[in-house]
Chains A and B, each alone.
Chain A
Amino acid sequence: QKEVEQNSGPLSVPEGAIASLNCTYSDRGSQSFFWYRQYSGKSPELIMFIYSNGDKEDGRFTAQLNKASQYVSLLIRDSQPSDSATYLCAVNMFRAGSYQLTFGKGTKLSVIP
């Protein structure tokens, strides 16, 4: 089982719709979870983090965490064409004596005008 799994997509949604991105992780001891956005040809940038079960909202973005199910999701409300990018789920895992970010392969999102 891969440590962090995401549906690779592409996920296509019309402008104004809600985009739902999902991620599962294997390490039950993981405590912190992150969503990075990567535009084509660019580097990843952090957009959200969540540490506690439940929802965390920031503008049009909502991160959801369910540790019992080992599941993290990112909802993007009122999707805009500028949201078209690859979204990387990242989990802080304890490896080799320290916490390290392990990334999923990403879900490519296309928002259709």
Chain B
Amino acid sequence: DARVTQTPRHKVTEMGQEVTMRCQPILGHNTVFWYRQTMMQGLELLAYFRNRAPLDDSGMPKDRFSAEMPDATLATLKIQPSEPRDSAVYFCASGSESNTGELFFGEGSRLTVL
């Protein structure tokens, strides 16, 4: 049963702490996306990788967020330092370059920054 795996599922941390979220895309998918979902803004694209290369991270606050894909089986999203306004659900999604609209989402990481 192929699926996108995200860890942690839930994270509560204090302001100023570093947060790292991890994602294992579906084997064979060559595109990986990080989205953030809040009630106010909906789903916002933070970063996009194709064949492990970052294509677009314009939606990501550069001063505190970073996204990497060290190998084909792991994508990471890091926040340092975290702030209360970062509280949201962070989704990783993977797909195929040949069908860019069909994304498979992980279960999400719910982050609460106190």
In the bound complex, residues from chain B placing their C-beta under 8 Å from that of A101 are: 33, 45, 100-101, 103
Question: Knowing A44-B43, A103-B42, A103-B43 touch, does A98 contact B101 (C-beta < 8 A)?
Answer: no
Give chain B nearest CB distance to A1 CB in angstroms.
Answer: 15
Q: Does A96 lie within 8 Å of B55, measured CB to CB?
A: yes
Give chain B nearest CB distance to A90 CB in angstroms.
Answer: 7
The complex places the Cα of A49 from the Cα of B48 at a distance, in Å, of 21
Q: Does B107 lie within 8 Å of A102, measured CB to CB?
A: no
CB closest chain-A residue, reference B50: A98
Cross-chain contact of A96 among B41, B56, B106, B108 (Cβ < 8 A): B56
Q: Does B101 lie within 8 Å of A90, measured CB to CB?
A: yes
- Within B47-92, the residues touching A (CB, 8 Å) are 48, 50, 55-56, 58, 91
Q: Does A92 lie within 8 Å of B100, measured CB to CB?
A: yes
Q: Does B102 lie within 8 Å of A102, measured CB to CB?
A: no
Is residue A78 within 8 Å, beta carbon to beta carbon, of the partner chain? no
At the interface, is chain A mostly helix, strand, loop or mixed? Answer: strand
- Within A56-99, the residues touching B (CB, 8 Å) are 88, 90, 92, 95-99
In the bound complex, residues from chain B placing their C-beta under 8 Å from that of A34 are: 101-102
CB closest chain-A residue, reference B42: A105
Cross-chain contact of B43 among A45, A49, A88, A99 (Cβ < 8 A): A88
Q: Does A42 lie within 8 Å of B107, measured CB to CB?
A: yes
The complex places the Cα of A88 from the Cα of B55 at a distance, in Å, of 24
Give chain B nearest CB distance to A74 CB in angstroms.
Answer: 15
Q: Does A49 lie within 8 Å of B102, measured CB to CB?
A: yes
Question: Knowing A43-B91, A104-B42 touch, does A92 contact B101 (C-beta < 8 A)?
Answer: yes
In the bound complex, residues from chain A placing their C-beta under 8 Å from that of B50 are: 98
In the bound complex, residues from chain A placing their C-beta under 8 Å from that of B107 are: 42-43
B interface residues, Cβ below 8 angstroms from A:
33, 35, 41-43, 45, 48, 50, 55-56, 58, 91, 100-103, 105-108
A interface residues, Cβ below 8 angstroms from B:
32-34, 42-46, 49, 88, 90, 92, 95-106
Q: A100-B33, A100-B45 are in contact. List 16 more A-B contacts (CB 8 A).
A: A34-B101, A34-B102, A44-B103, A88-B42, A90-B101, A98-B50, A98-B56, A99-B101, A100-B56, A101-B45, A101-B100, A101-B101, A101-B103, A102-B45, A103-B42, A103-B43
